[in-house]
C-alpha cells in the first residue's frame, strides 16, 4: 500500500488523524510505504519519535519537505516531488492501492490509477476548494485564485469519477456527492468521521488529582472550554457572545481557551466590546498528551463553526475527543453531522442561530446537560468516533477493492 498525505506526520494532525489509522491497518497485515510533507521545524523536533513509531509498526516512511513560499508555486513544487517519489517507489515494488489523503495528494493517486491501474482511494477529508473560499483563504475576485479554485473543482469531479472508493467524513457530505453527475456508483462512498484515540481520551486513564488541580487553578465554579484554532471558520465573536450569556447566570465562570494560536489585540477588543474581563478568559497551550486533562477539567465544551456549504463535509476532531472524556457540549447547527450526533446521543445542546435568545436558551440548558452521565456521552463516542471502528471500516474498503488479496 502507498499512503500519501500532504500533511506531515510530525504535525499534531498527523499524529491524531494519519498514523493511528495506518498503524491499525499495518497490524491487520498490510505493508505501507508512507509519503508525507514535513514542516522543517517540526520535522527536526519530532522526526526521531515518528521514525521510531514507524519502525516499530513496519511502516516505511518517506518524508519530503513542505514548502510554504512562494504561494501556489511551492504547492506545485511539493506535488511534483510527491509524484516523482511515488512513481519511483511503484517501479521498485508495485502497489496494490494508493490511499490519498485529500486533494493535493490525490493528484498523484489519480496519475498512478491512470498509468498503472493502481487501485485509488480518494479520502477527501472535506470539500477542499470550497473550504478555502468559505474560510476567506481564496478570494475568487483574484484571477489567480479563481483559476486555482476551478482547477480543484475539476479535479474533484475527476477524482470522484475514477476513484475505486471514496471516503467522506460525514453523511451530510455523502448526500451532497450522491447528487454529482460523475458519481456513477453511490455504494463506493463510505462515511468515516475523524476518529479519536479513545484510550488517550478516557477519564479512567487520567489522574483525578491532576484534573482537580487544573480545575482549582482555573476556577472551580464553572469552566467553559474551547479547544483549537482561533481563526478561519471558528467563530470567536459568537463564542464570546455565548460566554457572555453564561456569565449573566454564572458570574464566576471562566472561559478556558486551549490553542497554539496567538491571542491578539483584536481578541482583547472583542472582550471589551462585551464587557468581559481579561481574567475571565484563561489561555493555555497544550501538547496532545495533555489535552485530555484540560478537557476533563472542563464542565461544558463549546465550539461554534461557520455554517457554510463546505462545512457540511467537515468532522471536527475535537468533537470525538470531547465526547471521549464525557464532556457535554454546546455547538451550532450545520457542521457536518455534529448536530445529529449530539441530538441522537443526548450529549449537549445545539444552537439554532447566533442571536441573544438562542444564547440564553443554551445557557439555560447548562444545569440539564451537566447532569448527563459521562459514561453516556463516552458510549456515544465509542459508537461513532472510535479508532478501532474506523480502522475496521478502512480494512473492509481495502478488502473490497482488492478482492481480499494482500501482498
Give the domain CATH number at 347.
Answer: 3.40.50.2000
Helix and strand element counts for the chain (H, E)? 17, 13
CB burial class (10 A; 0-12, 13-18, 19+) of residue 240? buried
Number of folded domains that form the chain:
2
Together in a domain, 107 and 211: no
Query: Does residue 404 surpass a pLDDT of 60?
Result: no
CB-facing half-sphere around the CA of 287: CA atoms within 13 A: 5
Spacing of C-alpha 300 from chain mean position: 20
> Which DSSP symbol is given to 262?
P
Together in a domain, 99 and 237: no
Is there a domain that residue 407 lies in? no
Query: Does residue 406 surpass a pLDDT of 50?
Result: no
- Percentage of the chain beyond pLDDT 70 is 99
pLDDT digits (tens, 9 = 90+) for 110-166: 999 999 999 999 999 999 999 999 988 999 999 999 999 999 999 999 999 999 999
Q: Mean pLDDT throughout 1-8?
A: 97
pTM metric for this prediction: 0.91
pLDDT digits (tens, 9 = 90+) for 344-399: 999 999 999 999 999 999 999 999 999 999 999 999 999 999 999 999 999 999 99
Sign of CA dihedral 25, 30, 31, 37: negative
Close Cβ partners of 403 (under 8 Å, ≥ 6 residues apart) = none
Can you read off the three cell numbers belonging to residue 257?
Answer: 481557551
Predicted pLDDT of residue 13: 87
Can you read off the three cell numbers belonging to residue 226?
Answer: 474551547
Q: Does residue 80 sit in helix, strand or coil?
A: helix
Query: Does residue 407 surpass a pLDDT of 50?
Result: no
Domain interval for residue 235? 203-384
Is there a domain that residue 406 lies in? no
Together in a domain, 380 and 243: yes
Cβ atoms of 215 and 297 within 8 Å: the answer is: yes
Alpha-carbon distance of 380 to 155, in angstroms, equals 36
Can you read off the three cell numbers belonging to residue 114?
Answer: 491512470
Together in a domain, 225 and 355: yes
Amino acid at each position: 500500500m502507498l499512503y500519501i498525505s500532504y500533511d506531515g506526520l510530525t504535525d499534531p494532525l498527523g499524529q491524531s488523524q494519519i498514523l493511528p489509522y495506518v498503524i491499525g491497518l499495518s497490524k491487520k497485515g498490510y505493508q505501507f510505504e508512507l509519503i508525507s510533507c514535513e514542516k522543517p521545524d517540526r520535522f527536526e523536533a519530532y522526526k526521531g519519535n515518528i521514525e521510531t513509531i514507524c519502525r516499530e509498526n513496519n511502516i516505511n516512511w518517506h518524508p519530503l519537505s513542505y514548502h510554504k513560499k512562494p504561494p501556489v508555486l511551492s504547492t506545485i513544487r511539493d506535488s511534483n516531488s510527491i509524484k516523482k517519489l511515488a512513481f519511483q517507489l511503484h517501479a521498485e515494488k508495485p502497489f496494490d492501492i494508493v490511499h490519498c489523503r485529500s486533494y493535493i495528494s490525490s493528484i498523484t493517486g489519480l496519475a498512478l490509477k491512470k498509468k498503472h491501474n493502481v487501485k485509488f482511494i480518494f479520502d477527501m477529508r472535506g470539500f477542499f476548494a470550497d473550504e478555502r473560499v468559505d474560510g476567506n483563504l481564496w478570494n475568487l475576485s483574484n484571477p489567480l485564485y479563481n483559476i486555482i479554485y476551478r482547477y480543484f473543482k475539476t479535479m474533484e469531479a475527476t477524482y470522484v469519477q475514477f476513484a475505486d472508493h471514496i471516503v467522506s467524513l460525514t453523511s451530510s457530505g455523502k448526500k451532497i456527492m450522491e447528487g454529482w453527475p460523475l458519481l456513477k456508483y453511490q455504494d463506493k462512498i463510505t462515511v468515516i468521521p475523524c476518529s479519536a484515540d479513545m484510550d488517550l481520551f478516557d477519564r479512567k486513564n487520567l489522574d483525578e488529582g491532576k484534573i482537580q488541580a487544573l480545575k482549582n487553578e482555573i476556577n472551580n465554579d464553572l469552566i467553559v472550554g474551547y479547544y483549537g484554532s482561533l481563526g478561519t471558520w471558528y467563530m470567536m465573536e459568537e463564542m464570546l457572545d455565548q460566554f457572555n450569556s453564561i456569565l449573566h447566570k454564572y458570574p464566576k465562570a471562566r472561559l478556558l481557551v486551549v490553542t497554539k494560536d496567538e491571542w491578539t489585540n483584536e481578541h482583547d477588543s472583542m472582550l471589551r466590546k462585551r464587557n468581559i474581563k481579561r481574567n475571565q478568559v484563561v489561555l493555555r497551550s497544550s501538547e496532545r498528551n495533555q489535552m485530555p486533562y484540560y478537557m476533563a477539567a472542563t464542565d461544558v465544551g463549546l465550539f461554534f463553526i461557520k455554517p457554510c456549504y463546505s462545512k457540511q463535509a467537515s468532522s471536527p476532531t475535537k468533537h470525538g475527543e470531547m465526547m471521549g472524556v464525557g464532556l457535554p457540549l454546546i455547538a451550532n447547527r450545520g457542521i457536518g453531522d455534529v448536530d445529529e450526533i449530539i441530538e441522537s446521543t443526548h450529549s449537549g445542546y445545539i444552537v439554532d442561530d447566533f442571536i441573544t435568545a438562542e444564547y440564553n436558551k443554551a445557557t439555560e440548558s447548562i444545569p440539564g446537560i451537566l447532569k448527563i452521565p459521562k459514561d453516556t456521552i463516552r458510549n456515544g463516542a465509542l459508537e461513532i468516533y472510535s479508532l478501532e471502528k474506523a480502522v475496521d471500516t478502512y480494512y473492509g474498503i481495502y478488502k473490497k477493492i482488492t478482492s481480499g488479496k494482500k501482498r
